[in-house]
């Protein structure tokens, strides 16, 4: 089997370790296989691939779409990030809880974040190339988010010895309490 699927403390989140074949020339790996992922219970159809490059200390998130939620299969091609998912499913016993995974180009591990989660990451290396598959298209008018340092969520972001670099938009995201079900 070319993948190992590891369950996480929050139902639906999955860390994935592909089998990496390496030698003196470099390496080869399968980064996705519909057959393998379906056999592990991940049956979503991916419709869009995205990639970003970020410098050390860049924190992107916590983002989600309201009416067009996106599931994401995320990975780091080069560098290292701390990747976080926050459960926004109102009927979930882990609503408002978060889980983080260290992703790196060296380990080639991936993180599956299904629909119903806010997502973000912090770059821990000098730079990082971050790649992700999405289950729905990006709708800019539907984009929303939660403040990255909201005390009600209390994410334990790693201390990297410098102030995090955020977009102005991410600095102004609403608190988690704005997401709570009525």
Q: Does the active-site annotation cover 63? A: yes
Q: How many CB atoms lie within 10 A of CB 61?
A: 22
Helix (H) or strand (E) holding 168: helix 168-171
Which pLDDT value is given to residue 111? 98
**Tens digits of per-residue pLDDT, 43-101?**
999 999 999 999 999 999 999 999 999 999 999 999 999 999 999 999 999 999 999 99
Q: Could you say which of 27, 132, 138, 164 is catalytic? A: 132
Mean pLDDT score of the chain, rounded to an integer?
A: 96
178 confidence band (pLDDT: 50, 70, 90): confident
Q: How far apart, in whole angstroms, are the C-alpha atoms of residue 80 and residue 158?
A: 12
Q: How far apart, in whole angstroms, are the C-alpha atoms of residue 8 and residue 6?
A: 7
Is the link from the previous residue into 62 a cis peptide, with omega within 30 of 0?
A: yes
21 DSSP β-pair partners: 28
Q: How many CA atoms lie within 13 A of 6 on its CB side?
A: 10
Task: Say whether pLDDT at 182 is over 50.
Answer: no
Are 72 and 132 contacting, i.e. CB atoms less than 8 angstroms apart?
yes
Closest to 174 (Cα-Cα) out of 148, 155, 153, 154: 148
Q: 3-178 is classed in which CATH architecture?
A: Sandwich (2.60)
Q: Could you say which of 27, 63, 68, 119 is catalytic? A: 63
Question: Token pair of 6, please?
Answer: 């590891």
Q: How far apart, in whole angstroms, are the C-alpha atoms of residue 82 and residue 175?
A: 21
Q: Does the active-site annotation cover 132? A: yes
Are 148 and 82 contacting, i.e. CB atoms less than 8 angstroms apart?
no
Task: Say whether pLDDT at 155 is over 80.
Answer: yes
Closest to 99 (Cα-Cα) out of 89, 114, 84: 84
Cα angle 98, 104, 107 (rounded to 5 degrees) comes to: 110
Closest to 72 (Cα-Cα) out of 19, 138, 17: 138
Q: How many CB atoms lie within 10 A of CB 125?
A: 17
For the entire predicted model, the pTM comes to 0.95
Which pLDDT value is given to residue 125? 98
181 confidence band (pLDDT: 50, 70, 90): low
């Amino acid at each position: 089997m070319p993948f190992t699927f590891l369950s996480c403390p929050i139902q639906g989140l999955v860390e994935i370790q592909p089998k990496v074949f390496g030698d003196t020339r470099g390496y080869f790996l399968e980064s996705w296989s519909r057959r393998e992922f379906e056999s592990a219970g991940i049956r979503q159809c991916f419709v869009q691939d995205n990639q970003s490059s970020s410098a050390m200390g860049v924190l992107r998130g916590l983002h989600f779409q309201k009416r067009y939620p996106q599931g994401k299969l995320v990975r780091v091609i080069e560098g290292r990030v701390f990747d976080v998912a926050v459960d926004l499913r109102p009927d979930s016993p882990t609503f408002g809880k978060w889980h983080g995974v260290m992703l790196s180009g060296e380990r080639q591990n991936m993180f599956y974040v299904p629909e119903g989660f806010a997502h973000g990451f912090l770059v821990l290396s000098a730079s990082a190339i971050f790649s992700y598959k999405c289950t729905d298209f990006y709708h800019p008018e539907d984009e929303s988010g939660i403040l990255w340092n909201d005390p009600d969520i209390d994410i334990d972001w790693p201390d990297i010895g410098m102030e995090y670099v955020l977009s102005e938009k991410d600095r102004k995201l609403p608190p988690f309490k704005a997401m709570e079900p009525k």
